[in-house]
A and B are shown apart, each in its own frame.
Chain A
Amino acid sequence: AQTVTQSQPEMSVQEAETVTLSCTYDTSESDYYLFWYKQPPSRQMILVIRQEAYKQQNATENRFSVNFQKAAKSFSLKISDSQLGDAAMYFCAYISQGGSEKLVFGKGTKLTVNP
């Protein structure tokens, strides 16, 4: 079974600085998708970024980018120019392509942004 591990329960960053959240996963499949979701205090789950495993190019969305290392099964999220609104729980998630429809979530990383 696939697993997703987020080894950092909590992280903090100064406003305007850069922070990287770690995520590793375990799978025997070659085709899959990876996601980062953000859950602010409102508890709404918001899609931050998505990566297709077949794409070598790392996904980027404005201040958010990923470092996808397929061989190492690593999928870290970099947040540049951190803003107070970035404070939230961040969940890394995996889903196989064409197989189980279930999203496999990590346990989450709580990000605090200090002014």
Chain B
Amino acid sequence: GAVVSQHPSWVICKSGTSVKIECRSLDFQATTMFWYRQFPKQSLMLMATSNEGSKATYEQGVEKDKFLINHASLTLSTLTVTSAHPEDSSFYICSARGPAGETQYFGPGTRLLVL
């Protein structure tokens, strides 16, 4: 139980285009989901907290107009990287707060490469 999927797993795009990443909780409802970014050989950096039916809460230094988050249902949150640039290339991971409460379950991640 507590499975989280993420799509796509890999995406390559041109600079200036937008990319949407989906995060789904497959076997539970998640009122709260989280989006992280991970640079090589580093820990996870929280970007934003996504709450179903309300606006996301962004961490300091994260541009909300660049990283649009929508949590329209209890099983789906999306992250859209708008006008992507090469510096946005990274590994993006989502997580969902599981049925037990405090435990977060992670998706498999999305590798984004902006050319």
Contacts and interface: CB of A to CB of B under 8 A. Distances in A.
Given A33-B103, A45-B106, A97-B102, A102 B46 contact: yes
A44 B103 contact: no
Interface string B86-109: 000001010101000011111011
Contacts of B38: 43
A46 B103 CA distance: 11
Interface residues of A, number: 20
A107 B41 CA distance: 9
Given A95-B102, A101-B32, A43 B43 contact: no
Chief secondary structure at chain B's binding surface? strand
B78 interface: no
Contacts of B105: 47
B91 to A, nearest CB: 6
Interface string B5-45: 00000000000000000000000000010100010001110
21 contacts: A33-B102, A37-B106, A42-B108, A44-B106, A44-B108, A44-B109, A45-B95, A47-B105, A47-B106, A50-B103, A91-B44, A101-B32, A101-B34, A101-B97, A102-B46, A103-B46, A103-B95, A103-B104, A107-B42, A108-B42, A108-B43
